[in-house]
A and B are shown apart, each in its own frame.
Chain A
Amino acid sequence: MERVPILKIGPTLFVSIQIDLQDDSVLALQEDLADQLVATGAHGVIIDITAVEIVDSFIGRMLTMIGSISRLFDAETVIVGMRPAVAITLTELGLSLKGVRTALNAEKGLEILNGKS
């Protein structure tokens, strides 16, 4: 199983998913992120899914859960870079990713976390 690296940049944890996600990798990311939020006291998480070709119901649920878990550690999660085809498919699948914020790209995501929009 491949693990997704988590980078700390200032008060933000940055996750860029560059692998073909299997369920165990997503579960590991959830745990790693919770650990890192506690260890670093970060106030924001940016998850870049530019390279993610599909988000199915499991991955979508895990992204929503990451948002909920982060909130318990006083951190906001922004998912950035969703592909148009992924957005269309997610909606048809019936998933809305309620509870997590989304932004077009990492720059706009950072603006949300920094309170600029």
Chain B
Amino acid sequence: MDELPIRSGDDVVRVRQHVRTAAAASGLSLVDQTKLVTAASELARNTLVYGGGGVARVEAVKSANGRGGIRLQFTDEGPGIPDVDLALTDGWTSGSGLGLGLSGARRLVDEFELISKPGTGTSVTVVKWSRLTSRCWRRRPGTCAGCG
């Protein structure tokens, strides 16, 4: 597992690049890589802007049926989110944005978990799994030559 600090806009770019490399290595398709990197960009920006900075953790994971994936965790010790359900609503924003960052990021990944307590910070964990390819005859990616 890799840990990357998020303290500046440059760090957000570094997180994106790191996630891109890890996603490609885990066998995610180009579209899924792009979705995950975009989600990472939204979440890393939230960590920086609303959480006052924090840490991104990037980890390659494997599902029970052998699918590869990437788990990302963004943690900050900022003010936290008082109403998580509201924050996940399309168009809701506490600042000047469009309010698509958090809700959009959730749509771009397969698993999404947000834990936040006012005063102690926020932690968002997301997972993106690689898809079955049409060449995968065992229907279990990573176990046949069709998956490469």
**What is A's interface to B at a CB cutoff of 8 Å?**
1, 20-24, 53-58, 61, 83-86, 88-89, 92-95
Contact = CB atoms under 8 A, between A and B. Distances in A.
A57 to B, nearest CB: 4
Contacts of A88: 31, 34-35
B9 interface: yes
A89 B97 contact: no
B30 interface: yes
Interface in B48-105: 90, 97-98, 100-101, 103-104
B89 to A, nearest CB: 12
A61 B10 contact: no
B126 interface: no
Interface in B1-54: 9-10, 12-13, 16-17, 20, 30-31, 33-35, 37-38, 41-42, 45
A54 B41 CA distance: 9
B98 A57 contact: yes
Contact of A22 (B12, B20, B33, B108): B12
B135 interface: no
B interface secondary structure, majority = helix
A35 B33 CA distance: 36
Contact of B104 (A1, A23, A85, A94): A94
Given A55-B38, A84-B31, A89-B31, 4 more contacts: A22-B12, A53-B37, A88-B34, A93-B38
- Is the interface on chain B under 10, 10 to 19, 20 to 34, or 35 or more residues? 20 to 34
Contact of B38 (A21, A23, A24, A56): A56
A113 B107 CA distance: 35
B90 A94 contact: yes
A65 B104 CA distance: 19
Contacts of A61: 97-98
B42 A57 contact: yes
Contact of A85 (B12, B30, B97, B107): B30
B101 to A, nearest CB: 5
A22 B31 CA distance: 21
A51 to B, nearest CB: 14
